[in-house]
Chains A and B, each alone.
Chain A
Amino acid sequence: MSRHVELRDHQRELYYFQMRLAVAGAIALALFLLLFARFTYLQVVQHDYYRLLAEQNRVQIVPLVPNRGLIVDRNGVVLANNFAAYTLEIVPAQVGNIDAVIERLSEVVTITSKDRRRFQRLLEEVPDFSSIPIRTRLSDEEIARFAARQFQHPGVEINARLFRHYPLGDIASHVVGYIGRVSEADYRALEVRGTVSNYSKSDYIGKVGLEQRYERQLRGITGFEHVETDANGRAVRTLRSLLPVSGNDLLLALDARLQQVAEQVFGDFRGSMVAIEPSTGGVLALVSQPGFDPNLFVEGIDPQNWDALNNSPDHPMNNRALQGVYPPGSTFKPFMALAGLELGKRTPGFSINDRGYFQIGGSGRVFRDWKRGGHGVVNMHKAIVVSCDTYFYGLAQDLGIDAIHDFIGQFGLGSRTGIDIEGEVAGLLPSQEWKQRRFGQRWFVGDTISIGIGQGYNLTTPLQLANATAILANNGRIFRPHVVQQIQDSQTRELTTIEPQPIGHIGLKPEHLELVRDAMVDVTRPGGTAAWAGMGAKYALAGKTGTSQVIGLRGQEYDEESIQERHRDHALFIAFAPADAPKIALAILVENGGSGSATAAPMARKVIDFYLYGTLPTQTQTVPSPAGEPMEVPAEPVPDLEPMVAPDLYSGSLPDNQAEIVTGD
C-alpha cells in the first residue's frame, strides 16, 4: 500500500469518525432536552401537585410485623411461640460514625463482641435506613438507663420486638425447623411468588421444616402505620394504622411427648425414627438424631455455633428421616413375601430346604444365608419369623427385578412420600430400566438375588419405610404422611382440618395380608428374631428386624467389638401395633447400631409401649445373651467378597461400584 493511499484513507476515516461523533453528540443533546422536558413537566406543570404532596409528606409509613402463628402438638404442647422483648436499635442512615456510636452506647448498656459481630453482619445485609438491633432482650434497668440519656443518642431507639421461641429446644427440631432473616435468595423467591410486599428485608422467614413449608400460613399479613414526624424525623403521633393480621396456628398430628421418648431411646446413637398413625397418615413422631437447638438461629446464629453444627461428623443439621438413604435390609422381606403371594409365585405351604446357601441355577454363584448351616425346612411364615435369606433369594429370582420394582413400588419405597416438610429425597428402588440409564449396563440375575433381602442397589429413607409399614398395617390403603393436622385461623379461630384423604389403595388378598401379619407378630414372640424385644408385651406387636451393611469385610469374621464404630452395621426395625387394629406404625434406623434385633427393636418397643399405655416396658434393659434365643447374628461374609463402599448417606447419591451383597442377616 503506497503512502499516498494511506494518507487518503486517513482523511476519509477522520471524516467518518467526526461525522459519527457529531451524530452521537446530537443524540446526547436530544436526550438532554428530553430530560429537561421531564424536569419542566415535574417542576412547572405538576409543581402544585407535588408541592402539596411534599407538604403532606411529614407522614412516614412504618410496617407493623404480624404475630407469627404458633406451632402446637396434638395435645396442646407448644413447639413454637413468640415473646416480646425490648431491643436497642441503630438507624445507620441517621448516625455519622457507627463505631463511635456503638462505643458510646456500650457505656450505657452491655454490648458483647457477639452483639457487635451480629450487628456488622446485619449492617451489610439490610438497607441503611432500616433500624438494626445492636442489643436484644434489654433488662428493665438498661431500658431506664438508656431512656434517661436518649437525647444524647440521635438515630438510636428502643423498640419492642417479637422473637420466635422454641420452648422444647432440640426436641422435634427437624420437624419444626427455624426462622432466620430474609436472605437475597428468599427475597427473589418471594418476588416470584408475588408475596414480596408482605416482607421487608429485616424481617424473618421460615428456613427449614414446618416453619418453611407453612410460611404463608404462619406469617400473617403485614400492617402499616402512618406516623406524623417532626422536623427531626421523630414520630409525633400515629394518624392511621392498618393493623397486621396474625399468622395462623398449626396444630400437629405429632405427639410431643412421644417424640421426646423416641428421641431419648436413641441415647448416644445416631439415626432416625418415624411413627405414623396408619388410619390417617398423621406423623406421630419424626426423629433425626442428633438434632440441634433452633433457638440458636432466632437472632442470627453466631459463627462458632454455626461451624460446630456444620462441621460435626454427626451431621446434626441433616434430617435423616427425609434425607438419609439406607438399604432397608431384611425389613424388605414382608413386602417381598406379599409380592410372592400376590403375583402367584409362592403359596403359603410352599417350602424349601435351606442348607445355608443359595445358588443361581443350582450351580452358579453362591449366596449365603446369615445362619451357617441354614434353617432347615422353611415355608413363608417361618422365612419371615427367622428372617431366612435363602428363601427370599429364591423368591427374588423367581419374581424378577421388574416385578419386584413394580409391586413394592406401590408401597412408596424409592419415591418421595409427599410429606409436608421440604427436602425429601427419593431413594432408589432399582429396575432394569434404571440400571441401563444409570450405568449403561444390563441387569444381571445376580443383581436381583441381593435385592430380595433388601440389599444391593436398594436405598430407602426411614420415612419411606415407616410409610410402607403404615400401608401394610392399613391393609393396603395409602395416606400421604403429614405432620400438620389442622390450621387455626387467627381471626375467626376456625379450624381447618387437613382431611386424611386416601391417595391410593393396593388390592391385596386378606388371607395374604393375614399370613404376613401373623408372621410379623411371631417375629416378636419366642422363636422370632425380635423375641426379646417383644417379651411381656400386653398387645400383639407385629415387627420385622433388619440389618444393613455399611462396609463389606473380606475373609474375616464380623466381630462387632473390634470393628470401628462407624463401620458397624445399621440396625433397622419396622413395626405396627396392636397387630389386629394398628394405632401406630413405625420404622427405626440406628446408624452403626449393630443388629436390628439387639438395638433397634427394643427402642421401637419402648416407643410403642409409651404410645399405647403411656409407660415404658418393665423388663430389664440389658442386652440379652444370644444363647438359647434365636437371635439375629451378624452377617457372615464369603471369602471372595469384594469390599463394598457404603452409600453416601448425606447426599442421596448412589454407590458407583456395582456393589454386591451376597449375604444378609
Chain B
Amino acid sequence: MINRLFAYLGKHLDRQLLVLVSALFAIGLMTLYSASNASIERVGAQTANLLVALTMMWIAANVPLHYLSRLAFPVYLTGMVLLILVALFGEVVNGARRWLDLGLFRFQPSELMKIAVPLVLAWYFDRYEAVLKVKNFVIGGLLFLIPVLLVARQPDLGTALLITASGFYVLYLAGLSWKFLVGVFLIGSASMPFLWSMLHDYQRRRVLTLLDPTQDPLGAGYHTIQSTIALGSGGLFGKGWLNGTQSHLDFLPERQTDFIFAVFAEEFGLFGNLGLMILFGLLIARGLVIAANAPTLFTRLLAGALTLILFTYVFVNMGMVSGILPIVGVPLPLISYGGTSLVTILFSVGLLMSIHTHRRLVKT
C-alpha cells in the first residue's frame, strides 16, 4: 500500500535531479547552520521553506505538457498585471518598490516573471514553429523587454538582468541568427568607451570599485573585500566546518543569504568548491540532456532556458562573491537562505522533471 503511494507520488519525479537537489540542499543547510552561528531556528525555518518548495516542485512535475503550454500566456499576463500593480501600489522596502501586500503574505511579482518569461516565449515560438521570421524575434524580444523595463524601474537591476538573460536564452535557442548575435557583441564592445563617457561619476566609481575594492572599503567595496578574504584564507582544504573566522567574527555581511558561498568556501576550501561546482555542473548537465531529448519545440526551449538560467544564478553569485562580477542581489540556488528563491528554483526543477517524464506521452 505504502509502496504504491510512493510509486504514485514519485511517478513524475526524475531520480537524478532529485538526488542532486537533495545533496545541494543538505550542503546548504549545513552551511546555513554555520553562517547563523549555529542557530537551529534558522535551519528549521529553511526546512519549512523546503516543504513548500517541494510541494511546488511536485505540482510542477505532475502538470501535463499540453496543459503547461496552455497556461503559458495566462501566467504571463497575470505576471504583467501584478507588475503594473506593484508599480502603482507596491510597498517600498529598502527604497525599492518590489512587493505586493496580499494581506496574508507579501509577494514579489518579479520573481514570477523569472519563470513566466521563458514560459511565454517558448509557447510563442512553438506556435510559429514552421516559419520563424525576423518579426517573431522582434515580438519575442518585446515580450521580455517590457517586464524587464518594469522590473528595472522598481529598481531591481539584479532581477531585471536575470529576466533579460532568460528571455535571451529562449531567443538564442529558438535560432536567433548568429550574425545578429555577433553583431550585438561587436557593437557592444565597440561602444564601451562611448558608454563610459556617458556614465555618471558615481556610476564610474562603482565600476572602479569592482576593479579596486580598496577605493571604498566601507561602502560598496566592503562586501567584496571581506568575501575575498574569506575565500582566500580558506586555502585548499578550508578551516573546517563551524571554524570560519570571517563569518563567525561578523565580518561577512549577508552571510546567510547572498554571500553564503563565502562561508562555505572559507570552511571547505578549494576542494569543497570543486565538489560544489561538480554538483551544480551535474544538475545543469542533466537539465541540458532533458532539453536535448524534449519532445516539442515548446518543451525544448523551456527546458533549455530554465537550465541555462540556473547556471546563470550559480555563475553570477559565485563570480560576485569571488570578486570578478559586480555585486547584484542574486542568491546561490538551494544554498542561500530564503523561501522565495527556493520556491522559484524547485518549481523550475519540477518543470524539467515534467518535461522529462511526460515526453513518452507526447510522442505516442
Contacts and interface: CB of A to CB of B under 8 A. Distances in A.
B110 to A, nearest CB: 18
B324 A97 contact: no
B234 A43 contact: yes
Contacts, number: 157
A342 to B, nearest CB: 48
B296 to A, nearest CB: 10
Contact of B202 (A1, A34, A57, A191): A191
Interface in B304-327: 304, 308, 311, 315, 318-319, 322-324
A61 interface: yes
Nearest to A49: B232
Contacts of A97: 41
B39 A42 contact: no
A58 B249 contact: yes
Interface in A353-400: none
Contact of A184 (B95, B250, B265): B95
Contacts of B265: 39, 43
A18 to B, nearest CB: 5
A114 to B, nearest CB: 21
Given A31-B315, A231-B249, A50 B229 contact: yes
Interface residues of B, number: 61
Interface string B242-262: 000110111101100000000
B232 A21 contact: no
A128 B253 CA distance: 9
Interface residues on chain A, size class? 35 or more
Interface stretch (A104-112, A192-200, A254-262): A192-200
Given A58-B249, A192-B200, A38 B229 contact: no
Nearest to B310: A28
Given A58-B249, A196-B202, A17 B300 contact: yes
A306 interface: no
A191 B95 CA distance: 15
Contact of B217 (A9, A58, A61, A94): A61
A129 B274 CA distance: 31
Contact of A43 (B130, B232, B248, B249): B232
Residue in A21, A47, A188, A229 whose Cβ sees the most chain B Cβ within 10 Å: A21
A40 interface: yes
B94 A125 contact: yes
Contacts of A28: 284, 308, 311, 315
Contacts of B169: 24
Contacts of A200: 218
Interface string B264-308: 010001100110010001001100100110000100100010001
A63 B253 contact: no
B219 interface: yes
Given A17-B173, A32-B315, A50-B229, 5 more contacts: A16-B175, A21-B304, A44-B235, A50-B231, A55-B245
8 contacts: A1-B130, A17-B304, A21-B304, A35-B318, A39-B231, A60-B250, A200-B218, A229-B250
Interface of A: 1, 6, 9, 13-14, 16-18, 20-21, 24-25, 28-29, 31-32, 34-36, 38-40, 42-44, 46-47, 49-51, 53-55, 57-58, 60-61, 63, 93-94, 96-97, 124-125, 127-129, 183-184, 187-188, 191-192, 194, 196-197, 200, 224, 229, 231, 233
